[in-house]
Structure 1
């Protein structure tokens, strides 16, 4: 049977480290001066092996937990990449850019309606004809929003 200081000398560490290992349960706590050096050495070696294998928690870092977190992040990234390739997932910046382009085209067409319709409206015989001309031009402009063309959009970006 040995004391903590003799155990520390045998394990080639400090008495504080041995006390820390006892408090953490790495080495089984015994009565004062009653430590079995062989048992304590085996417990210490098993603990060091667990650390080396990445199965033991060292401080705040749990290597297995960190590896699992990394693997999950990598799997999530690959899943997102595949979803983008399939067209199931899009980047919001691209959607916003396409929507902005569509709205710009519609705005341009709507602003051009008076210039385009004025000569035809001037020679129209009735108010109904003028109304028809204006409605046709507005519908054409609004069809820019409804008639989203995927191929044209990919060429523009």
Structure 2
């Protein structure tokens, strides 16, 4: 299944296979099996590519034989968590349903809607069409957010932060040696203090996670630099 994207957005098949660490032939098999979407034969949207591959790995690890989380079902079917909860009440699936059983029930449910039948339980056709329109609207809104670069998979963002943190750490680690060469008047204690402060800043940066961005800085006092010596 292809997801059209605006011109100029996307990476080639070889670049996509390198990003995922897969041989190009294996990536082609995943596309042909419907696990990964692409814009056209030689163009992939990076956020969609990563999202689909993560969903494929999760599905493979679960074996589709254990009861999945609502978030896993939502990612697998490209719908919202709320829609999953609504479908759990409508679809003829047991409480301990598997991912494959839910998918089959969902597809049959969509066929009933497309055929104009209410299905088991006398579901209202107009209401089902409205629900389907809502799902489609939510999907389009997410795709538009990805296109505007307002939305990206968390794992991709964390990889970017990790790489940036690694580069910053190497720069910080070099500062004490540079200061030692250029400022001969500094004592060993001065250099030790500088190194300790740099290490503290580096450790704080390395510990940052996506969820930390929404937290209040209640420990702000702990992050303040050491005050100047009053005798200086």
Tell me, yes or no, whether TM beats 0.5: no
For Structure 1 versus Structure 2, the TM-score category normalised by the shorter chain is 0.3 to 0.5
TM-score, reference length from structure 2: 0.28
TM-score by length of 1: 0.38
